[in-house]
Structure 1
Amino acid sequence: MYNTDMPTRAELPSSKKLLRSTALALTTAIALLITVVLPAEYGIDPTGIGNTLGLKKMGEIKQSLAAEAEQDAAKEAKSPLQSTVQAAAAEEVPAEPETNRAIRNDQTVVMLKPGEATEIKLDMKKGAKVTYSWRSVGGLVNVDAHGDPINPPEGFYHGYGKAKQIAGKEGILEAAFDGKHGWFWRNRSEANVTITLTTNGDYQSIKKMM
């Protein structure tokens, strides 16, 4: 049987070489930690090399995902009793059905002399709808349907449609926001014009503005 020859003392590395190899390995590990591991895992990049290599972004994404996972875990750990109480409260206070809103019916008549104008507005909540119909007798008029929110900013305008020299129109007006919504008419003819407006729907009041 052949036995492997044992190395001689001269062939073994000296203590100085071992220390040098250990120091080199430690330095390499520290360099990798600073330039690769910290940017890639934690988004920490003291040297800027990680940002150049795209590793810092990777680390930031990992940290963001970890934070989101912790938040999700905290939400899932919420007391079942609290969830039951919240569900019961939601059942006890049902949303008010749309059918409970008051439905109004009004007919408004205004007379305009040549060159005169008038405006009629409905006080409506966002999403409320009104079926309307208006007719002019004696001549054609210009009309501008629009809405004004509560405390509108300077220069605000939200229109529902304009027309010139027409004798009437009908349709459905749906409020885009809480506020006043309606029509502005001007008589550009040389004769008196009578406008009759019929409204039916979900609004709190109707008022002649001018």
Structure 2
Amino acid sequence: MNTQNKNNGNSVNVEIPVHSTRTLLQATLAASAVAAIVLVIAILPAEYNIDPTGIGQSLGLTQLSKNNVVPAEDPSIFVENVAMLDGDKSDGDESTGLVESVILLDGNMLADAPSVAEIAQSRQSPSVRSDIVTIDIPAGKGLEYKLLMDAFVHLEYEWNTDGEPLYFDFHGEPKGDKTGYFESFSITTADKMKGSLTTPFAGSHGWYWKNKTDSVITVTLSTKGDYAIKG
């Protein structure tokens, strides 16, 4: 193909090569053939350990695929460390508590991981106790019931009245604080409540109930955790 460019009276002929359909088809077939050869000789041995020609093994490509394969049941996977978190601590022992995660590293066999019963037992420190008390809230008055607890220990609780609902504030007061600060965890009016608490700080934690009726209301409170009763 010829094109003519006219600029300032000068004429320049530029010849642009045009490939025929046959030439393009030959180039496409040649590229496909090269890609197929690379696939068979290099990619299949290196990625999938498939070596129909044997060239991949000679070049060490099959070893690459073997290094990347981990058997479904690999006995070399072990448990090195069981992380103990969110547990009740006693005597400064931070290793007791709920098993939250298992790190798969070289170490003890996975079969040695603790059972469900052992995990539940690990949450129990020697200081964990359970109590059930009844508390009479006088008519028209309020009453507090407190537990002394360290920071980051777990408490489970449940209480109910003998019928009438009570206004209550479930809160905690930091140990040694003289400013009157306290942190409320739940404030409402109800005739029963069940829940748990991980203490944010050391101090007294408990309930303030307000009886707005004309008769005594009895509260039955069940608690379980690492605490001392302040009353």
So what's the TM-score if we normalise by structure 2?
Answer: 0.46
- Assess if the C-alpha contact under 8 Å between 1:139 and 1:192 holds in 2: no
1:197 deviation in Å?
A: 0.5
- Assess if the C-alpha contact under 8 Å between 1:139 and 1:191 holds in 2: no
> Given the alignment, which residue of 192, 196, 208 partners 1:172?
196
- Assess if the C-alpha contact under 8 Å between 2:163 and 2:191 holds in 1: no
> Given the alignment, which residue of 194, 197, 214 partners 1:190?
214
- Letter of the 2:230 partner, please give it: K
Which residue is equivalent to 2:96? 97
Which residue is equivalent to 2:230? 207
Query: Which 5+ residue runs of structure 1 have no aligned equivalent?
Result: 1-92
Distance 1:95 1:196, change over 3 A: closer
Q: In the comparison of the two structures, how many residue pairs are matched?
A: 114
Distance 1:96 1:119, change over 3 A: same
Runs of 4 or more, structure 1, over 6 Å off, are none
How far does the alpha carbon of each residue in 1:115-173 deviate from its partner, in whole angstroms, 9 at most, with x for none? Answer: 12211111111111111000011422110011111121414121111012x10100002
- Assess if the C-alpha contact under 8 Å between 2:174 and 2:182 holds in 1: no
Residue 119 of structure 1: SS of its match in structure 2? strand
Query: Which 5+ residue runs of structure 2 have no aligned equivalent?
Result: 1-91, 98-121
**Greater strand content:** 2
- Assess if the C-alpha contact under 8 Å between 1:112 and 1:187 holds in 2: yes
**Greater helix content:** 1
RMSD, aligned CA: 1.9
> Given the alignment, which residue of 161, 179, 183 partners 1:154?
179
Percent of aligned positions that are identical: 29
How far does the alpha carbon of each residue in 1:43-90 deviate from its partner, in whole angstroms, 9 at most, with x for none? Answer: xxxxxxxxxxxxxxxxxxxxxxxxxxxxxxxxxxxxxxxxxxxxxxxx
1:202 deviation in Å?
A: 2.0
Distance 1:153 1:135, change over 3 A: same
- Letter of the 1:186 partner, please give it: K
Distance 1:183 1:159 in 2: 10
Which residue is equivalent to 2:147? 122
- Letter of the 2:196 partner, please give it: I
